[in-house]
Amino acid sequence: MSVLECEMRGQVALVTLNRPESRNSLNPELIVELAALWDGLGEDDDIRAVVLTGAEGSTFCAGFDLGTTIPMITGTREPQNEFEQAVAADSELLHRATLRGYDPGKPVIAAVNGHAIAGGMELMLSCDLRVVAHGVKLGLSEVALGLIPGMGGTALLARRIPSALAMELLLAAQPIASDDLAQSGLFNRLVPSGDVLTTALDLAETIASNAPLAVMAARRVAKASGDLDEAAALALESEAGTALVNTEDAVEGPLAFMEKRAPVFRGR
């Protein structure tokens, strides 16, 4: 059984963490497979959006595997197979797998159908949009283990929610129920667990139906603008907008609207 599954749904890639017996925790094999998958999805022009979820009936992701990955990070375990050797030799695999500072170039939607803890919450935070189930626990438990969230949690959390709430999650190391975070701005949708995947796929399909060059440009400008002053952000927006004006999709969109038909975007 593969620890990672990828299924195409039209122009949407559905990626499933498939270690339900271990709460979809990130062991070295899953880390290697996930890092490689992000690379492949980023290079595939037919994919316009990605949905990331956990195997049904388990957590979304419980973070790094405490029996393998964490001991390797702390240096108390020697590599015992090819996947462990790969992770030990290249720490960037951890970063790519969890999207820490790594951009696959496509909108990624987290379909959080179960608890998201530690590295699992960091993976969720790195996604562009988040659909979360009622009643699941979200938290960063690292300081209780003598560590800190090292896959973007300390850097990203205060960018996603108010600082006081971020500090509570970081320092108390106690998870908070998703329903109690409903007004925090952490996620886009809060839905019953049985509706998480459908809701996320619907959102992904809506995004995928739009002009892909425009989606990528809007996403790129929005992500970059957070660290820029207003003038620089507006300049970046103007640059991206000017580049789109002469594309075929920019002609097709208004023409389809005037002709009262669905546009056919070709990404050029």
Residues 168-183 have pLDDT tens digits of: 999 999 999 999 999 9
> Which H/E stretch holds residue 209?
none
Number of structural domains, the chain?
2
The reply to whether 121 and 191 lie within a common domain is yes
Say how far apart CA 71 and CA 76 lie, in whole Å: 5
Residue 99, token pair as written in the block: 């999207």
Residues 155-166 pLDDT 10s: 999 989 999 999
- Please indicate whether residue 142 is annotated as part of the active site: yes
135, 229: one domain: no
Mean pLDDT value across residues 3-17 = 96
Q: For residues 202 and 245, state if they share a domain.
A: no
Q: Which of 29, 122, 205, 252 is catalytic?
A: 122
Residues 43 and 158 in one domain: yes
Question: Tens digit of pLDDT for each residue in 104-129?
Answer: 999 999 999 999 999 999 999 999 99
Domain CATH for 200: 3.90.226.10
- Burial class from Cβ neighbours inside 10 Å (0-12, 13-18, 19+) for residue 105 reads middle
259: annotated active-site residue = no
Please identify which of the residues 43, 142, 168, 248 carries the catalytic annotation: 142
Q: Is residue 268 part of a domain?
A: no
Buried b (16+ CB within 10 A) or exposed e, 39-78: eebeeeeebbbbbbbbbeebbbbbbbbeebbbebbeeeee
Structure confidence at residue 52 as a pLDDT band (50, 70, 90)? very high
Mean pLDDT rounded to a whole number for the chain: 92
**Nearest residue to 97 via CA among 166, 155, 152, 21:** 152
Residue 69: pLDDT band with limits 50, 70, 90 = confident
Residue 52 falls within a domain, yes or no? yes
Distance CA 4, CA 265 (A): 31
- Which value, to the nearest 10 degrees, does the dihedral of the CA atoms of residues 132, 137, 138, 139 take? -170
By DSSP bridging, strand 4-9 and strand 12-17 are antiparallel
Q: Does 16 map to a domain?
A: yes
150 with 244, same domain: the answer is no
Same domain, 155 and 236: no
Same domain, 235 and 172: no
pLDDT of the residue at 84? 86
The model's confidence at residue 81, banded by pLDDT at 50, 70 and 90, is confident
Please give the residue range of the domain that contains residue 234.
Answer: 212-258
Q: What value does the mean pLDDT take over residues 132-157?
A: 93
For residues 204 and 216, membership in a common domain is answered with: no
Q: Are residues 163 and 131 in the same domain?
A: yes
Judgement on whether residues 59 and 103 belong to the same structural domain of the protein: yes
Residue 236 lies in a domain: yes
pLDDT band at 77 (very low <50, low <70, confident <90, very high): confident
Element (H, E) at 149: none
> What phi and psi values does residue 174 have, to the nearest 5 degrees?
-115, 130
Whether residue 266 lies inside any domain: the answer is no
Q: With 80 as the cut, is the pLDDT of residue 258 above it?
A: yes
